[in-house]
Amino acid sequence: MDFMKEYRKWLDSPALSADERAELGAIANDPKEIEARFYGPLEFGTAGLRGIMAVGLHNMNIHVIRWATQGFAQVICAEGETGKQRGVAICMDCRNHSMEFARAAAEVCAANGIHVRIFESLRPTPELSFAVREYHCQAGINVTASHNPKEYNGYKVYWEDGAQLPPHHADAIAAALEKIDVFDGVKKMDYDEAVKAGLIEVLGDETDRRFMANVTAQILDKETVAKVADTFKLVYTPFHGCGYKLVPEALRALGIKHLLCEPKQMVIDGDFPTVVSPNPENPEGFYLAIDLARQNDVDFILGTDPDSDRVGIMIRDHSGAYRPVTGNQTGVLLLDYLIGAMRRSGKMPERPVALKTIVTTEMARRVAEANGVTCYDTFTGFKFMAEKKNALEAAGEGKVIFSYEESYGYMLGDYVRDKDAVTASMLLTEMAAWYAAQGMTLFDALEGLYEKYGHYAEKTHNLVMPGLDGLKDMAELMKRLRETPPTEISGVKVVTRKDYTDGSVVDCATGEKSTMELSGSNVLRFELADGTSILVRPSGTEPKIKVYILTQGADAAACSANLAKYGQWVETLQK
303 SS3 class: strand
| pLDDT (0 to 100) of residue 232 | 98
Alpha helices per DSSP H over 229-326:
243-254, 287-295
Q: Which of 453, 475, 510 is the last residue of a domain?
A: 453
Mean pLDDT of 158-165: 95
Residues 310, 321: one domain? yes
Give me the phi and psi of 546, to 5 degrees please: -105, 130
Q: Look at the alpha carbons of 366, 370, 371, 373 in this order and tell me if their dihedral is positive or negative.
A: positive
Rg (CA), the chain: 24
With a cut of 60, say whether residue 272 has pLDDT above it. yes
Residues 478, 567: one domain? yes
Residues 449, 459: one domain? no
Using pLDDT thresholds of 50, 70 and 90, give the confidence band for residue 387: very high
| pLDDT (0 to 100) of residue 264 | 98
Q: Which of 203, 237, 269 is the last residue of a domain?
A: 203
Residue % of the chain over a pLDDT of 70: 99
Q: What's the CA gap between 356 and 402, in Å, rounded?
A: 9
Q: Which domain holds residue 56?
A: 41-203
Q: Cβ atoms within 10 A of the Cβ of 194, count?
A: 22
Residues 8, 26: one domain? yes
CB neighbour class for 306 (10 Å; exposed up to 12, middle 13-18, buried from 19) = buried
Residues 398, 293: one domain? yes
Q: What's the CA gap between 17 and 1, in Å, rounded?
A: 24
Give me the phi and psi of 36, to 5 degrees please: -60, -30
Residues 74, 162: one domain? yes
Q: What's the CA gap between 305 and 124, in Å, rounded?
A: 10
Residues 257, 380: one domain? yes
The pLDDT tens digits for 391-404 are 999 999 999 999 99
Residues 291, 306: one domain? yes
Mean pLDDT of 331-359: 98
Q: What's the CA gap between 219 and 211, in Å, rounded?
A: 14
| pLDDT (0 to 100) of residue 143 | 98
Query: Which residue among the candidates 146, 403, 425, 521 is catalytic per the annotation?
Result: 146
CATH number of the domain that residue 534 is part of: 3.30.310.50
Q: How many domains does the chain have?
A: 4
Q: Which of 453, 469, 494 is the last residue of a domain?
A: 453
The pLDDT tens digits for 294-334 are 999 999 999 999 999 999 999 999 999 999 999 999 999 99
Alpha helices per DSSP H over 314-420:
327-345, 363-370, 382-394
CB 112 within 8 A of CB 77: yes
Residues 112, 127: one domain? yes
Q: What's the CA gap between 285 and 280, in Å, rounded?
A: 7
Using pLDDT thresholds of 50, 70 and 90, give the confidence band for residue 138: very high
Annotation says 17 is catalytic: no
Q: Cβ atoms within 10 A of the Cβ of 404, count?
A: 28
Residues 386, 245: one domain? yes
With a cut of 80, say whether residue 285 has pLDDT above it. yes
Residues 135, 177: one domain? yes
Least trusted range by pLDDT, from 307-316, 419-428, 513-522: 513-522
Residues 246, 191: one domain? no
CATH number of the domain that residue 191 is part of: 3.40.120.10
Closest CA to 549 of 531, 527, 534, 536: 534
Which pairing describes strands 352-357 and 374-378: parallel, antiparallel, or unpaired? Answer: parallel
| pLDDT (0 to 100) of residue 47 | 63
